[in-house]
Structure 1
């Protein structure tokens, strides 16, 4: 599959653009390729979006809702096909990709409903003969930057609210996983979007992403990216003071209390640390364990990691696949080596598997490091790979201090038996989402996003619409009662 760019309602293969090759990370076999957008391509997409903006804004909310509902149905109908292609280009097992794609369809349906609930209100006024009416309107041309780790799902997180609000959207999609996205774009197009209402431009951040962030006629940009990339986006967006919504990096602590069910906590930590081989912004990076149960918990984690079976995600029953590429392995190796050099103990993994079935792919054993110093890389930086670092704590105050000590504030997890106590502790944790005895903080109808350097703005829930809407006050003098 050799794809081009999608602009003005059609697939195009313009000359002069670089072509990017995509290989299966489990086998090294070619999967396809994509053109990479440049600044001129971005300009074409912006022009098409400007033509579409009044058309999309003029659609009745129920018409926009119907488009999103139809797109969701088309995505559901092609779920298996999209999931298998995504596994070939990204590596995540097919079963995980099915969940991703079906949740993306749910997001589209959710915002179909939200499209009909964009209403205004009557506000109190300073005098009896004054009426204040607040209404909400599409902000205009929108842009989005989507990552490669959950590309279909996160695409829907952005396209759903943008279209619901009446904003045409230009997406810089990831060159690593553009093929499954092309199927999603086809579903959105076949649902009946006006020409120009959606553009899909695979490309690199410093080129296509920067062009979107700095474009003077793009009014809002939403991005899921690293902290340095988010900082670049904000700098580029300052030129026309465009609105920004940024979901950035994380280093999520999982905190194990002395009264926790250690088996359940370890299984939850294992799944969240190694699902998608740790290539998740809310993955468990560091595990803080009460010293009274530290050794027992670490032994369970090591056993789970050691018995984890890796494989080609296309094969039936495989739950854990390869990482995306060599750069992920290099980063995990650097974090592992740093932790060990500073006194950490390697309990499991730490190597590429040597069996013949793994030699052509980017496989890496799930890695556990115990007694990892707090200044070591996995305890202080985002690893974004299959490594979990464990450290004991002596009391609750020390645990809170350690958990809050980093610049990251996306997700945290607590496991224990005293829910009231954990709730009180959760109020002191500086994170956008906190899971109590659950290893996920994303919920369709609730806001998702980070505190501190982990982001600005929120996605999902009704809050996900806010970036794409502008409020307007209509202040009227009315005839006084007689």
Structure 2
């Protein structure tokens, strides 16, 4: 389905009169396919279908919902290679990375299938011998999700997995930039037996379809992965109907290197987390903060790794790093590099688009490192969401914490040190939702994922991931007789 429409009430439809978006391969500029763009009327039809199925689906035994999620995961696994290749053509990152993304999405669905059968209530202590307090949990109602283009299958699973496990129909505004592999994913959900109306897939634009989901009075909860400005717009739009929100927004992760760290190991870890998916990850390394005594040596190693990075079309099995997704990313990186160098930062690797054979028709940008980046420069203060990293040195723990905690972002941070006690102490004082100590990835299936400060609120993954889709009820009972 390379020219697709919407999935509503258990069927694909192609209504007329709506705008269509052309999907372009960022590696070569070739057309991949297209998608219709949903409007408010499309959202309304999906809500009506979801409301109709909610009473039956919400009371379906948890084991049955779990079995559907398991079947869907198996179907996705069977089609993962074709899905990964299509996603590479839409989004750019290598097929091998897309395979990891898709297979982790399958793990997420299986995990929440099992969480569904473990969700129970409790009997709480009471203030009198004849009173009993029961606390039970119930599906919140029709829900919605907004999924980004950087990890569309994975983050789709993060949202639909717990919603469906909880017994909530869900309407997804999938990314219009990468809608085609998602269509294959949705087919797997349908074939797994989810009733018509439980899942709707509506590619669309944030200011139109996203706003319609946010303002809709009969959608009870919405989970979105987005930028900080987009998250703020969602909050404003949802305020009128008191919709429950789970917002995972932008990040600006510091990567901290102490003088007793293994510099080679730390540099390799920073390189992978900075340039994987060309830095288009919310937990990517944006700024490297290095102890002053080892900063020159670390910069030398890190810049060398950046210069040696082989980039190209992600369809080539030998390629580990592909293009960026759109021209807007390149414009933002150029602006950040120009700002940092104008303020005195030293460009030690990269700094512009890759040119020559195999690059001219695509959106390729060299992995870029700016040493001695001023703390007020754009790479050190704004999320680049591309392969640009600023570096700065610190003298003391107090200075380090002031720099690391000094921004409005609070999603992820990383600490590398040979002294675990010191690293642990620093990690506890970092104002971030997750901290990796001597590891360059903070996501873990069984642990909560989400931000502090302007990086959002609510949590995905772990048992906490179900909380967006469940609401508590207190039943207070009086026993007539205790004999």
Instruction: Give TM-score, length-normalised by structure 2.
Output: 0.99
Aligned residue in 2 for 1:411: 412
* Structure 1 residues 3-62: Cα deviation after superposition (integer angstroms, max 9, x where no partner): 000000000001111111001100111100000000100000000000111121010000
Aligned to 2:468: 467
Alpha-carbon distance, 1:118 to partner = 1.1
How does 1:255-270 map onto structure 2 within 5 Å?
255-270=256-271
Partner of 1:331: 332
What is the correspondence of 1:273-292 to structure 2 with a 5 Å cutoff?
273-292=274-293
Residue 220 (1) aligns with residue 247 (2): no
Deviations 1:99-136 (A, max 9, x none): 00000000000000000011000001111000000000
Residue by residue over 1:122-180, the C-alpha shift from the partner in whole angstroms, topping out at 9 and shown as x without a partner, is 00111100000000000000000000000000000000000000000000000000001
Gaps of 5+ in 1: none
Q: Report how many aligned residue pairs link the two structures.
A: 482
* Pair 1:236-2:231 in alignment: no
1:66 & 1:52 partners in 2: Cα distance? Answer: 18
Question: Matches of 1:294 and 1:151 in 2, distance apart?
Answer: 36
Q: CA deviation at 1:240?
A: 1.1
Write the deviation string for residues 157-216 of structure 1: whole angstroms up to 9, x where unpaired.
000000000000000000000001001100000000111000000000000000000000
Q: Which TM-score applies when normalising by structure 1?
A: 1.00
* Contact 1:6 1:199 (8 Å CA) reproduced: yes
Structure 2 residue 28 is the aligned partner of structure 1 residue 27: yes
Q: Name the structure 1 match of 2:357.
A: 356
1:296 aligns with 2:297: yes
Q: Distance in 1 between matches of 2:312 and 2:355?
A: 13
**Equivalent runs, 1:67-86 vs 2, <5 Å:** 67-86=68-87
Q: Distance in 2 between matches of 1:51 and 1:3?
A: 25
Deviations 1:219-271 (A, max 9, x none): 00000000000001011111110100000000000000000000000000000
* Structure-2 residue corresponding to 1:388: 389
Partner SS for 2:293:
coil
Q: For residue 136 of structure 1, give the secondary structure of its aligned residue in structure 2.
A: strand
Deviation at 1:351, TM superposition (A): 1.6
Residue 223 of structure 2 aligns to a residue whose secondary structure is strand
Matches within 5 A, 1:156-235: 156-235=157-236
SS of 1:356's partner is coil
* 1:372 paired to 2:373: yes
Contact 1:446 1:460 (C-alpha < 8 Å) held by counterparts: yes
Q: Which stretches in structure 2 are left out of the alignment for 5+ residues?
A: none
- Looking at structure 2, the residues matched to 56 and 436 of structure 1 have their Cα atoms a distance apart, in angstroms, of 42
Shift of 1:481: 2.5
Aligned to 1:149: 150
Deviations, residues 388-422 of structure 1 (Å, cap 9, x unaligned): 11000001110011000000000000001001111
The corresponding residue for 2:58 is 57
Taking the TM superposition and a 5 Å limit, the aligned residue runs for 1:447-462 are 447-462=448-463
> Partners in 1 of 2:241 and 2:349 — Cα distance?
50
Aligned counterparts of 1:107 and 1:354: Cα–Cα separation in 2 = 39
Paired with 2:50 and 2:233, the residues of 1 have a C-alpha distance of 24
* Partner residue in 2 for 1:436: 437
CA displacement 1:416-459 (0-9 Å, x = unmatched): 10011111111100000000000000000000000000011000
The equivalent residue for 1:139 is: 140
| Greater Cα offset, 350-359 or 122-131 | 350-359
Aligned-residue Cα RMSD (Å) equals 0.5
Is the CA contact 1:55–1:194 (under 8 Å) kept in the aligned structure 2?
no
Runs of 4+ in 1 over 3 A off after TM superposition: none
Whole-Å Cα distance in 2 between the matches of residues 139 and 351 of structure 1?
Answer: 48
1:422 matched to which residue of 2?
423
Q: Is the 8 A contact 1:128 1:480 kept in 2?
A: no
User: How far is 1:369 from its partner?
Assistant: 0.2
Is 2:112 aligned against 1:100? Answer: no
